[in-house]
Amino acid sequence: MKFDAVYYEPDSLSYTLGEQLKEQFSSLPWIPIASHNSIKEMQEKPNSEFGRMKRNLIIGIRKTHKYEENHKVSDYLVPYTSSGCTAMCLYCYLVCNYNKCAYLRLFVNREQMLDRLIKKSMKSVQPLAFEIGSNSDLVLENTITQNLLYTIPRFVEEGRGKITFPTKFDMVEPLLGLEHGGRVIFRMSVNPQPIISRIELGTSSLKQRIQAVNEMCEAGYPCGLLIAPVIMVDGWKKLYTELLEELESGLSAKMKREMFLEIILMTYSYVHRAINQDAFPGAEDLYDQERMTGRGRGRYCYRPEVRAEAESFLRAEIKRILGDVQILYIS
């Protein structure tokens, strides 16, 4: 991964990871900032700079550690070691939170965050599941920080319950030999390859993702697939049927036997439209006036009748092509 510059909170250099990053990226300009949350120089840039802004690496200390309840694969969403990402999916949910400042931020106080997570896991009466990848892509992040190599063995050894994270990347090789005790749920996000090529810019191909999830499953990790987000572009039914056929032929027998599915229909927003129009002028507009409706705070989602049609189509096609695979939810 190539970066142009590092913006950093000076205190982050007193952490082990901060020191490591300083050495790793010593050839780049290092620009001190007061807070990773408000870099004036970035905030003032026009939307057309969105892609170039993602070529910067931001390093800071995470100060907010509030866990949010969640009722899907996990019980809690945990703010963890990064937010943002270097890829540029045109619908990226993080743009809703960070606007054009959705660049990759690394938080160096990982010891503090994992201590807290372990403590919380030990305090609960029932074993809990914690989603640690809701703010970024940890497989991508791991290629820079090795934070998953730090997190997985320590959580498994000292904590209780499970951790989970989703990804759109295939760089799983370093994770394969880790002691995970079956307590790390790996979730690979998939979409038809034409959608990956046109919309999920800078992520791994479908073939690479299928291979990666097969390898994780073979290594004993409980694995699932996220068909997400489902985007109803022209010809979407054919595209998703082809995706399911590719999954049927590419996934290992073990994966097909053990996996679960999560399906999420796309949410889009006014902010995405504004940024994408300026930053990716040739890209297709994902806003579909016919099929979408407002969802509050400038967000759009597919209309209820459109969602119902998509849901019944996907359920029938999954059953026809993949058989009785467990579908946790369609939302």
Query: Which residues of the shown chain bind ligand SF4 in the complex (CB under 6 A)?
Result: 85, 87-89, 92, 94, 136-137, 168, 203
Measured at CB, which residue is nearest to ligand SF4?
A: 85
Q: How far is the CB of 253 from ligand SF4 (least distance, A)?
A: 28
Tokens found for residue 214: 């097969």
Looking at the Cβ atoms of 4 and 19, the one nearer to ligand SF4 is: 4
Neighbours of 228 (CB within 10 A): 21
- What is the C-alpha to C-alpha distance for residues 280 and 121, in angstroms, rounded to an integer? 43
Separation between Cα atoms, residue 4 and residue 2, nearest integer Å: 7
Q: Which is nearer to ligand SF4, 89 or 322 (CB)?
A: 89
| Contact by Cβ (8 Å): 135, 68 | no
Structure tokens at 160: 């209780």
Q: Which is nearer to ligand SF4, 12 or 83 (CB)?
A: 83
Nearest to 134 by CA among 180, 176, 167: 167
CB of 93 to ligand SF4, least distance (A): 6
Shortest distance, position 202 Cβ to ligand SF4, whole Å: 7
- In the bound complex, what is the minimum distance in angstroms from residue 126's beta carbon to ligand SF4? 30
Smallest gap from residue 275 Cβ to ligand SF4 (A): 12
Residues 230-253: b if buried by 16+ CB within 10 A, e if exposed: bbbbeebeebbbbbbebbeebbbe
Query: What is the distance in angstroms between the CA of the first residue and the CA of the last residue of the chain?
Result: 33
Measured from the CB atom, the residue of 94 and 244 that comes closer to ligand SF4 is 94
Shortest spacing between CB 156 and ligand SF4, in angstroms: 25
Q: Rounded to the nearest 10 degrees, how much is the dihedral formed by the CA atoms of 32, 98, 184, 114? A: 40
Spatial CA neighbour of 168 closest among 199, 195, 134, 206: 206
What b/e sequence results for 92-113 when a residue is b if at least 16 CB atoms lie within 10 Å of its CB, and e otherwise? bbbbbebebbbbbbbbbbbeeb
Q: In the complex with ligand SF4, which residue's Cβ is closer, 85 or 156?
A: 85
Shortest distance in whole angstroms from residue 129 CB to ligand SF4? 20
Q: Which is nearer to ligand SF4, 128 or 175 (CB)?
A: 175
Nearer to ligand SF4 among residue 159 and residue 166 (C-beta): 166
* Residue number with CB closer to ligand SF4 (39 or 140): 140
CB of 38 to ligand SF4, least distance (A): 21
CA 317 vs CA 34, 48, 196, 248, 293: distances in Å: 52, 39, 20, 12, 26
